[in-house]
Amino acid sequence: MILAVLVLSSLLIWLDNTILTTAFETLADPVRGLGASPAQLQWATGSYTLVFATLMFTSGALGDRFGHRNVLATGMTVFAGASMWAAYAGDADQLIAARAAMGMGSALIMPAQMAILMWTFSGPARATAIGISSATAGVGVAAGPLLAGVLLGHFWWGSIFLVNIPIAVLSLIGIAILVPNFRSPTPRPLDLAGLLLSISGLAFLAYGLIHAGQVASWNSVSVWGTIAVGVVLLAGFVLVELRRRHPSFDPRLLAQRLFGLGNLALGLLMLAMTAASFYSAFYLQGARGFSPLQAGLAFAPSALGTIVGAPLGVRLARRWTLRVVTATALTTAGLAMGCNMLFGLHTPLIFNEIAFTIQGLSIGMVIGPVTGGLMSALPLERAGAGSAVINTARQAGSLFGIAVGGTIMSITYRHAIEGSLHEYAGPVQDQARVSAEQARHTATAIHQPALAHAADDAFIHAMHVSAVWAMLIALFGAVLLATALRPTRKPTAVPPRCERLPDMAAGGQ
């Protein structure tokens, strides 16, 4: 019964991670949604991921101090309240703030959920419980787009957030009735300095990357200066953590070849995967004109492939090696992402579905087995610190995937459509430059279908460029993963020294 409550809590987070992607096109629409710009949509996802990534390792210390059940219940309450706020947000900025609050709730839920699971189960039952809990990720990833499609087809966009409320209420009832309030006998100190440095550093870095898409240039001081400040703050965060006796985020673990390069490869995979999901949502609903439900169904093979790929990767790694299976799978995922450079406005959907299926299957074969391999490489007493590093690396990869992927899309789209805007008035040009969604809406308003066609062509070009970058990033991750999992060579035994024997030819017998 406790496991059922924990699975329900985990399902809520994974549903929310994917349900918003299907709503991007609706939120960008000035009539049906909020008229959100690409930068605002990037922050709607980025603010959630930023807070999630940076608060997660601190919330583990809160659970040690105040009890993991209390932290889990607090996180669920915060998540439910923030979901209500997001559903009734009056503009894109309010939505961004509400999504940041949802990220805070998720950051409290995830470590507490895992800690309660570890306290509740032991021996073989613990491994089974972890497997069941991990499977909810695939279920959430698969169900999110389909659920969003159904809701957006019958209700307004806020319904995708209201669906969180009944799940959260049911979880809170189960937490109150069933879950004991486990807490560590030796609580860890709170790392406030590390928290402030990490969240501000990632925020500055993400803001600089997203702002580059708004100004359509990497040369502005407001872009590279902000990125430089973020890098300096993150360097300060590493120095602070190195000096702590019990750091919440232990950078020393990253000095190990397997753990460091393995986490970097996972982060790059999440970056490429999130960037590909960002432009795929606009491609299916905006450029191809699919309904939210049709888009959700189109994404289903990718999600189902991820569910099948995780256990398949584990089984294949037992037959061959983790290095051969996961590095090959990550290479295949990168090539599948690159297939988007071949797709256009009239590509038969079957080719998209084949690419989505291969991509999802390959990603599933990487994330689960590699995460398990990285955790197995650590001693048990460092499992908590290692888990914090892995989860932070994955969430940071997702954050930068939205920032970098969206910015490449925005800059390329603006350059591509610029040559088609000379015959239109200034306000029309300004709206068309914002995004393809704004250009299509403006074209309808002024009865200029040629502008909509130009926006579609510019978007497809931008998607092709973004697909190349996503592919290269994933392939680089595959190289790093192959390097990380390279077996350590054992020193060759030195043969005993041979003394020179007497020269038998000189008369010895």
- Let me know whether 20 and 155 are in one domain: yes
User: Are 261 and 409 in a shared domain?
Assistant: yes
Query: Quick count: other Cβ atoms within 10 Å of Cβ 193?
Result: 14
Phi and psi dihedrals of 486, rounded to 5? -65, 130
Least confident of 2-6, 52-56, 157-161, 489-493: 489-493
Q: Is residue 300 part of a domain?
A: yes
Q: What is the CATH number of the domain that holds 36?
A: 1.20.1250.20
Look-up: residue for tokens 């980025």? 46
Q: Are 325 and 430 members of one domain?
A: yes
Tokens 């200029």 belong to 448
In a domain, 508, yes or no: no
pLDDT, residue 509, reads: 36
The range of the structural domain enclosing residue 228 comes to: 192-243
The more confidently predicted of residues 223 and 357 is 357
Q: Give whichever of 51-65, 264-278, 325-339 has the largest mean pLDDT.
A: 325-339
Burial 144-170 (b: 16+ CB within 10 A, else e): bbbbbbbbbeeeebbbbbbbbeebbee
3-state secondary structure 303-325: HHHHHHHHHHHHHHHHHCCHHHH
Contacts of 487 (CB under 8 A, 6+ apart): 323
- Domain membership of residue 509 (yes or no) is no
> Lowest-pLDDT range, 58-67, 98-107, 145-154, 455-464?
58-67
Q: Is residue 268 part of a domain?
A: yes
Domain boundary among 186, 214, 233: 186
Distance CA 419, CA 422 (A): 7
Same domain, 395 and 360: yes
Question: 123 with 48, same domain?
Answer: yes
Is residue 507, in this structure, part of any structural domain at all? no
Quickly state the pLDDT bin for 495 (edges 50, 70, 90): low
168 and 202 both lie in a single domain: no
Mean pLDDT (the chain) is 81
pLDDT of 500 > 50? The answer is: no
Domain assignment present for 171: yes
- Inform me whether the pLDDT recorded for 149 exceeds 60: yes
Per-residue model confidence as pLDDT tens digits over 347-380: 898 998 999 899 988 988 888 788 777 777 766 5
User: What tokens appear for 131 in the block?
Assistant: 């497997």
* 179 Rama sector, left if φ>0, alpha if ψ -120 to 50, beta otherwise: beta
For residue 282, pLDDT beyond 50: yes
Average pLDDT over residues 156-162: 89
Q: How far, in Å, CA of 397 to CA of 188, rounded?
A: 27
502 within some domain: no
Q: Given 243, 276, 309, which residue is the final one in a domain? A: 243
Q: Give the total number of structural domains in the chain.
A: 3
Neighbours of 264 (CB within 10 A): 19
Please, which residues have CB within 8 angstroms of residue 133's CB and are 6 or more apart in sequence? 3, 6, 7, 10, 113, 114, 117
Are 148 and 22 spatial neighbours (Cβ–Cβ below 8 Å)? Answer: yes
Least confident of 144-153, 184-193, 203-212, 319-328: 184-193
Q: Are residues 197 and 156 in the same domain?
A: no
- What Rg do the C-alpha atoms of the chain give, in angstroms? 25
Identify which of 69-78, 173-182, 236-245, 302-311 has the greatest average pLDDT.
69-78
Q: Are residues 198 and 238 in the same domain?
A: yes
Average pLDDT over residues 399-412: 83
pLDDT top residue among 287 and 461: 461
Is it the case that residue 171 has pLDDT exceeding 70? yes
Higher pLDDT, 78 or 385: 78
**Residue 349 belongs to a domain:** yes
Exposed, middle or buried: residue 501 (CB in 10 Å: 0-12, 13-18, 19+)? exposed
Question: Of 201, 221, 243, which closes a domain?
Answer: 243
Phi-psi region of 289 (alpha: psi -120 to 50; beta: other; left: phi over 0): left
> What is the pTM (predicted TM-score) of this model?
0.79
Clarify whether residues 310 and 388 are in a common domain.
Answer: yes
Q: Does one domain contain both 286 and 217? A: no
Digit-coded pLDDT (tens) for 128-140: 776 677 667 666 7
User: Could you tell me if 351 and 404 lie in one domain?
Assistant: yes
Q: What pLDDT does residue 506 have?
A: 42
Q: Which residues are within 8 A (CB) of 504 and not within 5 positions of it... i.e. 6 or more apart?
A: none
- Buried b / exposed e along 408-418 (16+ C-beta atoms within 10 A): bbbbbbbebbe
Residue 497 has pLDDT above 60, yes or no: no
204 and 146 together in one domain: no
